[in-house]
Structure 1
């Protein structure tokens, strides 16, 4: 799992700054920075809180955070297409 990558992708796709997200999710900017850098592992409650603040379904967020070996039965090509589609839909939602 790469929570930091998914967090950075979703946040930037939504056009949110760390300051905006930290206020909306009620977490500190420094904690968000540590999450994006992969230096902290949030619990599920925190992930849900952050996803809600970004208006991103937790399931989509977790898919974007998953590594290739986490996606048994889904080809890399399909995974890339799904990720691209999810990010495109988030962009349209802004």
Structure 2
């Protein structure tokens, strides 16, 4: 899953709007929209602010973006075995259970 999609799902999960998040991180709604659509990658400072507002550490955000396409072939079986449980565990730790987020991250 792309970083922007994970951010967007976490925005919804937190009950925020893109306007609220943009305001809290000091960016325009257009800039945030570009991040969510994947047309613009956030700089480290912006990503740090997003993570703080969403209350999710950056490594967790990145982990949720990993898909099978990112995994070396010789490690794919292990990834398929462990990733769904790990992603489910992380989602439970960093907020209330979200079926939508859980379904989205398990598709990758």
**TM-score, normalized by length of structure 1?**
0.79
Give the gaps of 5 or more residues in structure 1: none
Query: Which one is further off, 69-78 or 22-31?
Result: 69-78
**TM-score, normalized by length of structure 2?**
0.71
What does 1:4-83 align with in structure 2 at a 5 Å threshold?
Answer: 4-71=4-71, 73=75, 74-83=78-87
State the superposition RMSD in angstroms: 2.0
The structural deviation recorded for 1:90 is 2.4
* Distance of aligned partners of 1:19 and 1:85 in 2 relative to their CA distance in 1, 3 Å threshold: same
2:2 corresponds to: 2
Q: Give, in whole Å, the separation in 1 of the partners of 2:71 and 2:9.
A: 19
Q: Give, in whole Å, the separation in 1 of the partners of 2:41 and 2:26.
A: 17
Higher Rg of the two aligned structures: 2
